[in-house]
Amino acid sequence: MRRRILMLGVAALLALLSAVAVVAYARGADRRAVEGKKGTWVLLATATIPSGTTGAQIRSKRLVRQVLMPAETVPSGALTKLDSGLDTRKLNADLAPDQMLLSRQFDVAVKPVASPTPTFKVPADRLAVSVQLGIAPQVAGNVKRGDQVVVFLTTPKQETDEKPQQTAVLLAKVTVLSVGESAVPSQPPIVVPQSGAAAIMSTAVPSPSVGSTTELIRYVVTLAVTADQAEALVNGYNRGLLHLGLLGAKATVTASPTVVESGAAG
C-alpha cells in the first residue's frame, strides 16, 4: 500500500516538473526569439473569439495569452494587457487563434450623453409655455428672465371676413421664465393661408452679416402661466400675432375693450 502511494506521489511530482519545464522552455523560446533585440509583450488569442465579445469576457474566460515578441515586429496599437477601459467595449470582428489583439479591433467607447441642465425652474402652480417672437414684439430685445409682461393678441383681418384687424389684452400679467435667441437664415416673412383663422407671421430684424449670408434673430420667450392662461396663449399664438409689453414697477393692466383697426368700416 505504501509503495502504491509512493509511486503516485512520484508520478505527480514528475508531472509537475514536466509542466514547469514546458512553461520555462516556452518563455525561454520567447526570450531566445528576441535575444539581442528589444522585446514587447503582446496578447494573442488562445482560440477563436467571436465578434461582439467584450474585454471583460475575454479576460474572465482567459481567451488570450501573453507572448514576448521583438518590438520591431509589433504593429501599432497592439495591446499588452486588458485593462478595465476595455471591459464594456466589444470586438468588431472575429479573432482567429494566435491572432494579435489590437486596440482598433474594439468598438469606440461611447460616452454617455449628459442630460441637459434645465435653464429655468417652473413655479409649482404654473405651466411653462414658449412662444417664438421677433425682436420688436418682445420690446426690442429688452425682455429678460423674471420680468412681468402683458401679452397682447392681434387678430389680422381676413380676406374672406369683413371684420377689421383687432388687438386686445390676452394676459394682463405673467412672469418671464427665460428668453433665448438664435440666428436663422435670412428669408422673407412667411404667411400661411388659413380659412377662418389668422395667418401666422414671424417678425425679425437683421443682425450683422456672417460671411456673405445675412442672418436674422429670433426669440423664444417662455412664460409661467396657469392652465387656463396656457390654453389662451397657445390658441392666440396659433391664430394671431402676439406682442409683449414690459410692465413697470407700478404699472397695472386690466382687460380693456378690443381695439379695432382705425379707418375700419363700422
Average pLDDT, the chain: 75
The phi and psi torsions of 98 (rounded to 5 degrees) equal 70, 10
What is the predicted pLDDT for the residue at 16?
A: 55
Q: Residue 252: exposed, middle, or buried by beta-carbon count in 10 A (0-12, 13-18, 19+)?
A: exposed
Find all residues with CB under 8 Å of 69, minimum gap 6, and list them.
Answer: 30, 33, 34, 39, 40, 41, 42
Q: Considering only CA atoms, which of 219, 217, 224, 218 is closest in space to residue 120?
A: 224
* Of residues 213 and 70, more confidently modeled: 70
* Rg of the chain on CA atoms, in Å: 38
Burial of residue 33 (CB within 10 Å: 0-12, 13-18, 19+) is: middle
Q: Which amino acid would we find at residue 34?
A: V
pLDDT tens column, 174-198: 999 998 865 555 555 444 444 443 3
pTM: 0.45
